[in-house]
Amino acid sequence: MIRRDFLKIAGAAAGAGALAGLAGCASTVPSKARVVVIGGGFGGATAAKYIRMWAPSVDVVLIERQSEFVSCPISNLVLAGYSTMQDITIGYDGLNRHGVQVVRDEAVGIDAAKKTVRLASGEDIGYERLVVSPGIDFNFGEVQGYEAAMQAGRVLHAWKAGPQTEALRRQLLDMRDGGVVVLSIPLAPYRCPPGPYERASMIAAYLKQAKPRSKLLVLDANPDVTSKGGLFKAAWKDLYPGILEYRGNAKAVGVDAATMTVKLEVEDVKGDVLNIVPPHRAGDIAQKAGLITTNNRWCDVDWRSMESTKVPGIHVLGDATLSAAAMPKSGSMANNHAKIAAAAIIETLNGRAPADPKILNTCYSFVSQKEAIRVSSVHQWDAVKGTLLTVPGSGGVSAARSEAEGTFAWNWARTIWADSLA
Ligand SMILES: Cc1cc2nc3c(=O)[nH]c(=O)nc-3n(C[C@H](O)[C@H](O)[C@H](O)COP(=O)(O)OP(=O)(O)OC[C@H]3O[C@@H](n4cnc5c(N)ncnc54)[C@H](O)[C@@H]3O)c2cc1C
């Protein structure tokens, strides 16, 4: 629902008082509790839906700048032609059906003292509790020349699914047989630890099938593959010999669009397609709202409620958080963070303390068109350490890549899309 329609409905349903409340007069006390959620990705959409499901009396307003949700999970398959943008694009109608008021706008500021969110359109929305799940933004400055090269259309990250996913697919299609694709991975932590290695597998699968004289050079700033390393390397050796070359400790520090050169600390590498994923940090709005606590990048939270340790009344979810030990930045985790926050917000609004959480992560990666591998882990509240810790003996990785895991991977994706948005 676009904001104009939302305002119309809010006005028609509740009269001018509700509209004034929505317009965020800090002095207007809402007739019932209102939770505002910034960001309709895995974290924010799930939080909005579950608050409405578990506490239908609470007003939930979701602010999202995009008209549709585009999923990063499965987007690597789009690059290889094994899936489409349509497959990974989902509207927000499902949330409307749960009574979530979806406002298409951008949150540009948060006044935590007045409890209001400022929208790009100039309006303020008042809240009793605020959820911030903006995902990531990039530290482009850490790769010299990146922004100019990206603006010139010569270098892409495609690390937020959407137009860059399509553009990277086009670059692969347009590349000559015999060309070199360079994929550069930043130092961890970044969103989706196995994601770059899945991408490497998908690009290699495409080259093997369509441009077999071409090469993929994977330049990893980390010393070694950071997730499911044994399984990825076995798949690359079996499936993509002579096509995929992996180099650890190879950090991109610059890019020259004119010569299509990636500058590493000790050498330069040329390519025909440059897919450089820059280092990440919490999304801009977290920075503007003063929620960042650590390394100028991430937002620390109380894991029992996802409430910011810095700004009371604001719950931060998903990739923007300072991850707990051994916790990946994943859609699976963001979806679970959202449920912790939804339950805790409802308990808090009722004057009760939230329960101690236990959550599960599962992350599938495709290594060929049909075969996938999996990693999973369970994280529970530890009262002594005051954080979430992995449950000893829980989780693990697939014994081997298989088509059965590929089927589970698709089922996982469809299930989490429905759980978050339908
Ligand atoms: C290639 C790739 C593959 C991946 N594969 C997997 C996988 O298989 N499994 C898995 O679990 N995870 C996977 N991930 C990771 C997963 O996509 C992220 O961890 C997840 O999206 C994080 O959810 P989030 O809510 O924190 O952020 P997002 O899902 O990015 O949502 C943030 C939303 O906030 C909106 N927003 C931001 N700022 C504002 C603002 N100021 N105003 C309004 N709206 C705003 C954005 O438009 C966006 O819709 C993958 C990631 C990539 C890049």
3-state secondary structure string, the chain?
CCHHHHHHHHHHHHHHHHHHHHCCCCCCCCCCCEEEEECCCHHHHHHHHHHHHHCCCCEEEEEECCCCEECCCCHHHHHHCCCCCCCCEECCHHHHHCCCEEEECCEEEEECCCCEEEECCCCEEECCEEEECCCEEECHHHCECHHHHHHCCCEECCCCCCHHHHHHHHHHHHCCCCCEEEEEECCCCCCCCCHHHHHHHHHHHHHHHHCCCCEEEEEECCCCCCCCHHHHHHHHHHHCCCCEEEECCCCEEEEECCCCEEEECCCEEECCEEEECCCEEECHHHHHCCCCCECCCEECEECCCCEECCCCCEEECHHHECCCCCCCCCHHHHHHHHHHHHHHHHHHHCCCCCCCCEEEEEEEEECCCCCEEEEEEEEEEECCCCEEEECCCCCEECCCCEHHHHHHHHHHHHHHHHHHHC
Q: Which ligand 1 atom is nearest residue 66's CA?
A: 47
For strand 314-316 and strand 129-132, is the pairing parallel, antiparallel, or unpaired? parallel
Q: What is the pLDDT of residues 315-345, one digit of tens each?
A: 999 999 999 999 999 999 999 999 999 999 9
Residues with CB under 6 A from ligand 1: 38-44, 63-66, 72-73, 75-76, 106-107, 133-135, 159, 191-192, 195, 199, 283, 285, 317-320, 329-332, 334, 363-364
Q: What is the pLDDT of residue 60?
A: 98
62-82 per-position pLDDT tens digit: 999 999 999 999 999 999 999
Q: What is the pLDDT of residue 23?
A: 31
Greater confidence (127 vs 9) lies with 127
Q: What percent of the chain has pLDDT over 90?
A: 92
Residue 5 has pLDDT above 50, yes or no: no
Give the tokens for residue 284: 């801009």
CB atoms within 10 A of CB 222: 17
* Closest residue by CA, ligand 1 atom 35: 39
What does the pLDDT look like over 215-258, one tens digit per residue? 999 999 999 999 999 999 999 999 999 999 999 999 999 999 99
Average pLDDT over residues 140-157: 96
Cβ-contact 218, 204 below 8 angstroms: no
What is the band of 154 on the pLDDT scale with cuts at 50, 70, 90? very high
pTM for the structure as a whole: 0.93
Model confidence at 22, pLDDT cuts 50, 70, 90, reads very low
- pLDDT the model gives residue 7: 33
**Residue matched to tokens 């309006």:** 123
Ligand 1 centroid distance, CA of 157 (Å)? 14
Instruction: Read off the pLDDT band of 27 (50, 70, 90).
Output: very low
Residue 58 CA to residue 37 CA, distance in Å, equals: 13
pLDDT > 80? residue 10: no
pLDDT at 273 over 50: yes
Domain boundaries, the chain: 2-137+281-355, 140-278
Across residues 403-413, what is the average pLDDT? 98
pLDDT surpassing 50 at residue 114 = yes
Say whether pLDDT at 191 is over 90.
yes
Half-sphere exposure of residue 340, counting CA atoms within 13 Å on the CB side?
27
pLDDT reading at 19 higher than 70: no
32 confidence band (pLDDT: 50, 70, 90): confident
- Residue 80, both tokens: 């290889």
Residue 31: pLDDT above 90?
no
338 CA closest ligand 1 atom index = 25
The stretch 96-101 carries a mean pLDDT of 98
- What does the pLDDT read at residue 316? 98
The residue type of 68 is E
Question: For the domain with range 140-278, which CATH number is right: 3.50.50.60, 3.20.20.70, 3.40.50.150, 3.90.1150.10?
Answer: 3.50.50.60
Kindly give the distance from the C-alpha atom of residue 14 to the centroid of ligand 1, in angstroms, as a whole number. Answer: 33
The arithmetic mean of pLDDT across residues 130-159, rounded, is 96
Joined together, the tokens standing for residue 54 give 């578990």
Residue whose CB lies within 8 A of the most ligand 1 atoms, among 191, 202, 228, 280, for a mutation test: 191
Calculate the average pLDDT of the chain: 92
pLDDT exceeds cutoff 70 at 372: yes
Confidence band for 36, pLDDT divided at 50, 70 and 90: very high
Buried b (16+ CB within 10 A) or exposed e, 257-291: beebbbbbeeeebebbbbbbbbbbbbbebbbebeb
CATH assignment, 2-137+281-355: 3.50.50.60
Rounded Cα gap, residues 366 and 362, in angstroms: 14
**Token pair recorded at residue 122:** 């100039």
Q: Ligand 1 atom 34: the closest Cα is on which residue?
A: 39
329 in Cβ contact with 191 (< 8 Å):
yes
**Which are the contacts of 256, defined by CB distance < 8 A and separation ≥ 6?**
145, 149, 263
Task: Tell which wins on pLDDT, 58 or 31.
Answer: 58
How close is the Cα of 329 to the center of ligand 1, in Å?
Answer: 9
